[in-house]
Amino acid sequence: MQAIMLAAGKGKRLGKYTKNNTKCMLEINGISLLERAIDALLEANIHSLLLVVGYKKDYLKKYIKKHNLDKKIKITFIDNNDYDSTNNIYSLYMAKDQLCQDDTILLESDLIYEQNIIKKLVNSPYTNAAVVAKYDEWMDGTVVTIDENDNIIEFIEKADFNYSDINKYYKTVNIYKFSKEYLNNYYLPFLEAYINAYGKNDYYELVLKVISSIPKSGIKAFKITKEKWYEIDDCQDLDIATLFFSSGKQQLELYQKRFGGYWRFKELIDFCYLVNPYFPTQAMIDKMKYNFENLLVDYPSTMSIQSNCISRFFNNVDESKLLVGNGAAELINQLKVILKGKIGIPFPTFNEYVRCLPNTEIVFLNTKENNYQLTKDYLLQYIDKIDALVIINPDNPSGSFIKYEDILEVIDKYNAKNKIIIFDESFIDFAEPELRYTLIDDKILDKYENLIVIKSISKSYGIPGLRLGVLASSNKEFLKEFKDNMPVWNINSFAEYFLQIFVPFSKNYEIACNKICETRKKFIEQLKKLEFIEVYASQANYVMVKLIDMDSQDLTLYLLEKYNLLIKDLSSKKGFDNESFIRIAVKTEKENQTLVDALKKYKEYMKGVK
């Protein structure tokens, strides 16, 4: 058996990455796609490779010589000098004389995949087969439909793709197995006829589409499920593939640098970033889907309309005191236009409050001395040492909570001394019902002109993808400064529509927050049974944990590599002095159980290591 790789194309969409090399020379974590392919072929006992080259072929040939790849496998070069005006159908056609001589594995040059896929395909009982995977949203290109016997019924081009049939579709991985007989009797004759009829600038899958309609001439679908693969068409694909095929500390660092976007990685369960798993309801999602097209093509309203919409979230508080942001992060970033002098920030803390205030003097209030708890007395001791105070309640990452009467006393005394108070209540809706409150209230805001309240709608309402937050204050000078530094359209139509339709679902939101409380209680009880951790009390949708005689980075890596679970390692965060702390999001009971089970296995794993 032989293999053929089509590597003549320019790879224009990859920009600088293919300026002086071909796609198959791209390195993912230090290993080129060509080297990976050769290793996979050798593992499958294939020792002959037809390489169709064109763009930068001299660079490719030098690369092969430099890395001794031609000594690992026999390489036969086939030149496609018309690569700039043709497509892969012509590259395949140019190898017709060699293809007719042996069974062949067909590969494209922009693929990365687990090495054993080729071996499994070669050893499969199917004489002629296409490797396929169940269609997923990140996939692009030709899809197929198959019957109950894994026969490919139809090859479907992009133009004929129908989202209503999406559950029927399988994506071609662009790895094929063809017998010598199939190539001679079907594919090559039809390939030549197709080129004569339609020209050289097309795709070889179109020939398979034609042949698939002929009885007894079709090919099988060789289905893969958990095996990893990725097609690299552009820079974004290259970025994702680099993460997808990394491991250990490198993979963890790449995930952490993304700060989200984890929908691209279906197997990952994210216990790092904080969101409400019980809201919005399916009915609310369906309502937004129904209006998707209008929301996509129409402009959102301006700030005053957004403020009007969100005032209903807080018992119709005066809308002139409200400012809606593109997530709380945008509003936190606005604080720099009014804050001066010494800013007291309890730490460990949410780093945005440090990052977004570069021109102030940050006074770090080390809560370690108070067992990482925010309390009234702890905050009041700094009143004469700072000009402004940031309070996150429940605290992030500890989850500690300051009761309503205590926080009012703190605000009252700071305000009396003309100190600015930033109160972040992003997680307060997850507190127990009898403790829950909001400071976005006309009476409180009017009483305390130096109070600024910030709340993330994204986190507690389960919509981080919409990016919504709200700032509240009665101080007109502050609000004018903020508005003057923000764009007219700072949130999109989808986010505005969410604000518009929320009220009928407000009871569902309350139920969802209560459900978090119940789930958190059960989760903490389970965690406390693990003898190697210390669990801190929390009123948020996350729990802070101290590891006893365990390393937080080792645990984080173990959970990611073994179980695709991502947690927040806090050991490098300012305030923990390199002690082993982690933060775990509260998710659904099923997901929480998955994490608890993995933690138990980690304990057994560590016993074996020791």
Eight-state DSSP code of residue 198: H
CATH architecture of 282-505: 3-Layer(aba) Sandwich (3.40)
Eight-state DSSP code of residue 157: -
Question: Is the pLDDT reported for residue 545 higher than 90?
Answer: yes
Q: What is the mean pLDDT of residues 324-351?
A: 94
Q: How far is CA 560 from CA 251, 274, 565, 598, in A?
A: 9, 17, 5, 10
pLDDT band at 571 (very low <50, low <70, confident <90, very high): confident
* Beta pairing, strands 420-424 & 361-366: unpaired
pLDDT band at 309 (very low <50, low <70, confident <90, very high): very high
Mean pLDDT of the chain: 93
Query: What is the C-alpha to C-alpha distance for residues 554 and 430, in angstroms, rounded to an integer?
Result: 30
Which has more pLDDT, 258 or 470? 470
Q: Which helix (H) or strand (E) holds 17?
A: none
Identify the pLDDT of residue 209: 84
Report the Cα 165 to chain-centroid distance in Å. Answer: 26
Identify the pLDDT of residue 609: 67
Residues of the chain with CATH 3.40.640.10: 282-505
Tell me, letter by letter, the H, E, C secondary structure of 526-594: HHHCCCCEEECCCCCCEEEEEECCCCHHHHHHHHHHHHCEECEECCCCCCCCCCCEEEEECCCHHHHHH
pTM higher than the cut 0.85:
yes
Q: What is the CATH number of domain 245-276+508-609?
A: 3.90.1150.10
User: Contact, 101 vs 172, CB < 8 A?
Assistant: no
pLDDT tens track for 406-450 = 999 999 999 999 999 999 999 999 999 999 999 999 999 999 999
Which tokens go with 569? 């390692």
Which has more pLDDT, 310 or 210? 310
pLDDT tens track for 253-271 = 988 888 888 878 888 899 9
pLDDT band at 610 (very low <50, low <70, confident <90, very high): low
Identify the pLDDT of residue 398: 95
Question: Is the pLDDT reported for residue 160 higher than 90?
Answer: no
Residue type, 492: N
Identify the pLDDT of residue 414: 97
270 forms bridges with which residues in the sheet?
A: 566
DSSP character string of 238-265: HHHHHHHT--HHHHHHHHHHH-S-GGG-
Cis ω before 125 (30° cut-off from 0):
no
pLDDT tens track for 347-394 = 998 888 989 998 899 999 999 989 999 999 999 999 999 999 999 999
CB-side exposure of 499: number of CA atoms within 13 Å?
Answer: 30
Residues of the chain with CATH 3.90.550.10: 2-241
Q: What is the mean pLDDT of residues 295-318?
A: 93
Q: Using alpha carbons, select from 324, 285, 287, 286 the residue that is nearest to residue 304.
A: 324
Which has more pLDDT, 388 or 212? 388
Report the Cα 560 to chain-centroid distance in Å. Answer: 14
Percent of the chain with pLDDT strictly greater than 70: 99
CATH architecture of 2-241: Alpha-Beta Complex (3.90)
Query: Could you tell me where the beta strands, DSSP code E, fall in 157-303?
Result: 170-178, 220-224, 229-231, 269-270
Identify the pLDDT of residue 577: 82
Residues of the chain with CATH 3.90.1150.10: 245-276+508-609
Query: What is the C-alpha to C-alpha distance for residues 411 and 181, in angstroms, rounded to an integer?
Result: 83
